[in-house]
């Protein structure tokens, strides 16, 4: 599997995870519990919308990577960096989940930026 195909597959998963977390937060404010005193204390519904929108964008870009669209590589890098930052700020709400998604985001960055083998 090429690095781009792997990255596209991972982006579909990451996007789906964001969409699921987004719907969970939008539909049930009690699904995520916040640690007190967190500086970036947003309403759970706001976090839900952020995750939902980001997840849909990540899925669409993953599909673009599979289709070998020229815009998809740069947009994918931008979105997975944004996803990692989003999950960093979401750590107090869901620590394990957020760290897992950050690791997947870093893996996608690696897959998209590693040198490609030259074929003759």
- pLDDT band (50, 70, 90) for residue 118: low
Cβ contacts of 110 within 8 Å, gap of 6 or more: none
Encode pLDDT of 7-27 as tens digits.
999 999 999 999 999 999 999
> What are the boundaries of each domain within the chain?
3-34+41-113
Q: In a 3-state reduction of DSSP, which class is residue 118?
A: coil
Containing 107, the helix (H) or strand (E) segment is helix 95-113
Where do the DSSP E strands lie in 4-120?
A: none
Encode pLDDT of 40-71 as tens digits.
777 888 889 999 999 999 999 999 999 999 99
Q: What is the pLDDT of residue 29?
A: 79
What does the alpha-carbon distance between residue 94 and residue 32 come to, in Å, rounded to a whole number? 7
Encode pLDDT of 63-116 as tens digits.
999 999 999 999 999 999 999 999 999 888 888 999 999 999 999 999 999 877
Cβ contacts of 12 within 8 Å, gap of 6 or more: 59, 62, 63
Q: What is the pLDDT of residue 3?
A: 82
CB of 62 within 8 A of CB of 8? yes
């Amino acid at each position: 599997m090429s690095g781009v195909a792997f990255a596209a597959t991972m982006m579909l998963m990451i996007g789906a995870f964001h969409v699921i977390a987004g719907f969970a937060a939008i539909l049930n404010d009690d699904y995520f519990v916040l640690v007190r005193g967190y500086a970036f204390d947003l309403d759970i519904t706001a976090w839900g919308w952020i995750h939902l929108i980001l997840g849909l964008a990540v899925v669409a870009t993953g599909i673009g990577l599979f289709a070998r669209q020229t815009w998809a590589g740069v947009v994918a890098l931008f979105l997975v960096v944004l996803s990692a930052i989003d999950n960093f700020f979401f750590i107090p709400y869901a620590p394990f989940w957020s760290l897992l998604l950050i690791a997947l985001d870093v893996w996608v960055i690696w897959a998209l930026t590693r040198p490609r083998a030259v074929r003759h």
